Amino acid sequence: MTTPILSRHCLLHLGSLLFLAGSLAAQSQTIRPDPLRDETVSLPEFRVETNKDNSYLATETTSGTRMAAKILDLPFSVQSLPSEFFNDFMLFDFDELNGYVSNVKPADPAGAGNGGSRLRGFGMPQFRNGFGIIQQPDSNNVDRVEVLKGPAAGTYGATAPGGIINFITKKPQTRPAYTLDYIVGSDDYQRVNGSATGPLAKNLFYRVDGTYYDFERPTDWWYNRTLDISTGLTWKLTPATSLSGEFAFTERKANPYPVFTRWVDRSGRTQGLVYTIPEDQYPGFAERLSQFNQAGPYNRYERYNKSYYLTFQHRFSPVWSLQANLAYTDRRFRRVGTTGLGNWSFVTNNWTASRLPYHQRYKYDQWGAQADLSGKFGTREIQQQSHVGLDWYFIGQNFKTWQLSNTAQVLAGLAPGTTLALWQRPNPFDPDYLLRAGTVDFNEAWPMVDGSTSNLYTENLGAFYNHMVTLLDERLAAMVTVRADQYEIKRQQPLSANAKLREADSGNNYATYSTGLSYKILGQKLVAYGSYGTSFDPNPQVDANTGEVYGNTEAKGGEFGFKGILFGGGFSYSAAVFRATQDNEATANPANPTGSDPLLPRLAPGGSTRSQGIGIDVSGRLTPNLSMIGNMGWLDCRTVQNLAAPTSVGQRVSNSGPARKGSVAATYAFPQARLKGLRAGLTYYYSTENIRIYGTATSTSVYLPANSYWGGMMAYAFKVRGRTQVTLHLAVTDLFSQQVLTDNAFAPAGAQWKLSTGVKF
């Protein structure tokens, strides 16, 4: 089934918005910005200067301490991926982009933004300009992606021990600029991107970024249609004071149901991924299962996300500066579909489970506030920077699930003549049957599901102090951060018959810290650094017997390495050896493993995980015309304690990532006069086989296959009149169709091409 062509309605709205912004800017052309004024309207303490020369080099970051800092001075790893890089190779999905950072297991792009990336074996919390977020932004408004590695709780509060990812958005510019791109590609790929920025009035600047895309992939009924619009205004009240507001809106409609399928052999033993089915015995069966969407053609989920941000910046004096932020996000999620079919059984030649229609509604409300006071002072010999930060977050999550299990009602909602047994356990070689059978229309009279209907409220109040000292002619930098947090959790399960589950509470106080040194051995060419820190990551799980909240994990870890800038300041590198341990993970209670004794807890804080490895990252310009980004990582993430399953101790942690992974991307700008404006590039990605699910007594371990594939790009830019520039751009991923299976066991898309025509003025 093919999806409709690019929505005219969405394109009209997007085009009108960009046209309006451009018209307003055109009316204000009499406003002449100071040619010496910075392009971005922001105080230097909170702004990072970026390179716009396609060198892929970043020398500063705001992710390390929430203030602008030189990466070489920070005693931990920070990798920055600029928008020039992911636009060059049209890696618009951040799940693809994460593969270009060491020790990151990227999530599956086939999940349509459902997340799941892992950093150094642990979850990867997401931030937007330093604010924790629930849903990652779209790439159209992102200026760069910064990955801060290692325990970062001293700065950000609740985080995972592997580190965080921070999306830095584009800001209003002082000079007018406009872009428009139209992109077509494989699997009915269509996309339009547009942006406009510049002055609106004296000391008032704006920015609008918008995109709409619609595409498919070789999975039954898979599609993704997304509209994303971001706007921003900055008012420069005085040379030392500014007020900025941002608004982001995302609407996504998709059918990316995970098709992860295992199979049961004739001995009754559950086996691995579908691609392992012997082709000589069952020709074409594995490929068909990897393409079959168990949820059917009428499955869909809809996401609506509205985020509001307000930022105030003020410099009190040459020493002290303040930034204060407010944020609110309203996110709605609706899913209509059916339950999964389980595994395929060669014992019965059918599915091990049956489809049932269900309906889910999620509502998220997130409030946040931050304040950062920074001071820089000292003498010529000793420079110091102090930073005090305050945070407050509140997140309310409301989950509702309805499910229809009455077989008569299910049959009554399907097309006349439908065989219920075939609808509940469809033949994967006859997917059109599900089209003919139709679907059951939802109504709120359906019964609600107890365990999947709940409310979760979390509130975090935290404060930290960071101090950095630079001495010995700026060769030695020392940093320490201390933080205190109060974290409250309330979980409600209103349909439960157990009063302990209808409302469960938990409150914890945390004290975390991080400290480290960096030393310039050979100036900027060779810098040694080391750091150690602690973190906490509340991941609440409520005990079904006692109502007690478990899963408030705590971690500690450190790293040591070298970094530097070479080739005349145009190329950076970093190499780190790291180790982190996470404790207090919730497991089954060994004294009540099945939960059959209602007087004893089902869960216990009896698990620990240790992650260690090596990560190498490089980026920048090797020659005046050759730029690259590359990484290589080795990861060993294993269970070191599990009271409920002691046999798992020493095993690799499921879904933590491959033991080895590496990638490289390079672009070359042709210097010859006849080829001026022409650039070409290649990418290569490699990862070893990694474990997805550990087997038990009746099932084997499930491994994701090793991956090794190439990509490429070619772009030609030329000016047609004045500042107007036209670009023709081609990018291809998996150039030779080498991918075996995606991370969620979708059939690989093979070689995917995108062709873009863009104008910039």
Over residues 434-460, the pLDDT tens digits come to 999 999 999 999 999 998 999 999 999
What is the C-alpha to C-alpha distance for residues 530 and 514, in angstroms, rounded to an integer? 11
Indicate if the pLDDT at residue 43 is higher than 80.
no
What is the C-alpha to C-alpha distance for residues 367 and 592, in angstroms, rounded to an integer? 39
109 sits in which H/E element: none
> What are the pLDDT digits (tens) for 723-749?
899 999 999 999 999 988 887 778 888
- Apex 579 CA angle, 578 and 580, nearest 5: 130
730-751 as b/e: b if 16+ CB within 10 A: bbbbbbeeebbbbbbbbbbbbb
Report the amino acid identity of residue 204. L
DSSP letter, residue 98:
G
> What are the pLDDT digits (tens) for 674-726?
899 999 999 999 999 888 887 776 778 888 888 899 999 999 999 998 889 99
The first and second tokens of residue 705, run together, are: 């296959």
How confident is residue 33, by pLDDT bands cut at 50, 70 and 90? very low
> What are the pLDDT digits (tens) for 291-327?
999 889 999 999 999 999 999 999 999 999 999 999 9
In this predicted structure, what is the pLDDT of residue 194?
A: 97
Residues of the chain with pLDDT > 90, as a percent, come to 65
Average pLDDT of span 369-391: 92
Please compute Rg for the chain using Cα positions. 27
Cβ contact 747:705 at 8 Å: no
Indicate if the pLDDT at residue 52 is higher than 60.
no
Instruction: Share the mean pLDDT of the chain.
Output: 88
Average pLDDT of span 239-261: 91
In this predicted structure, what is the pLDDT of residue 711?
A: 96
Name the β-bridge partners of 686. 662, 708
> What is the separation, in whole angstroms, between the first and last Cα of the chain?
39
3-state secondary structure of 354: coil
What is the C-alpha to C-alpha distance for residues 125 and 67, in angstroms, rounded to an integer? 19
The first and second tokens of residue 65, run together, are: 């301490």
Average pLDDT of span 142-158: 87
Strand 344-345 with 262-264, pairing: parallel
In this predicted structure, what is the pLDDT of residue 137?
A: 87
In this predicted structure, what is the pLDDT of residue 28?
A: 37
Strand 262-264 with 204-216, pairing: unpaired
Identify the CA nearest to 731 among candidates 3, 256, 191, 167: 191
Helices (H), 3-50: 8-27
Indicate if the pLDDT at residue 268 is higher than 70.
yes
What is the C-alpha to C-alpha distance for residues 376 and 575, in angstroms, rounded to an integer? 29
Of 568 and 116, more confident: 568
Indicate if the pLDDT at residue 10 is higher than 70.
no
Identify the CA nearest to 559 among candidates 608, 617, 506: 617
Identify the CA nearest to 602 among candidates 590, 620, 612, 589: 589
How confident is residue 19, by pLDDT bands cut at 50, 70 and 90? very low
In this predicted structure, what is the pLDDT of residue 49?
A: 65
Indicate if the pLDDT at residue 15 is higher than 70.
no
Cβ contact 224:252 at 8 Å: yes
Torsional sign, CA 65, 71, 76, 82: positive
CA distances from 91 to 86, 139, 250 (A): 5, 9, 19
